[in-house]
Structure 1
């Protein structure tokens, strides 16, 4: 069996995987290392003053993960539109034993 992944497949999967890891793992670890607050909203005291904010804006993290999903969606649409390459060995008839 031959490897059917093309350069477009590798680029799309690599880019989406890198965006997923960046948006979920790397930024999550940075948030943990930065300390509290762990919530995506700013913490306020009873007077309404902001006493702590997250290190990385949650909309940025969400945007990176959505970008990874969009890359996968575009790649999936590309795979649906392009015809499958058939291998000559796949088309050859094999005699039964």
Structure 2
């Protein structure tokens, strides 16, 4: 059985929150804002910009990548910090 401490919970909440905000939250805001759904500015035949997305794709990508970076830092933390020894681990018992 694994023990989840405060750092584990913080990493899970922060990374999941950032990724959900960047993917789902900002996606819903874009849908509610109306057309266009394109991640790039839309132009007409003359090349004039007629519509742009409400939230820049670079911002959305940055928020999602920040969530992934939190998971990377958490993984590095778990590699560096040793697992505390339990009184039951490493103890051999003789079976009857």
TM-score bracket, normalised by the shorter chain, equals over 0.9
Which ranges of structure 1 fall in alignment gaps of 5 or more residues?
Answer: none
| Matching residue of 2:61 | 62
CA offset digits 1:13-40 (Å, max 9, x no partner): 1100000110000001111111111111
**What is the TM-score of this pair, normalised by structure 2?**
0.92
Alignment: residue pair count:
96
- Matched position secondary structure for 1:51: strand
1:74 aligned onto 2:86: no
Paired with 2:95 and 2:7, the residues of 1 have a C-alpha distance of 37
**What is the TM-score of this pair, normalised by structure 1?**
0.91
RMSD value, Cα: 1.2
Return structure 1 stretches of 4+ with deviation > 6 angstroms: none
1:37 aligned onto 2:36: yes
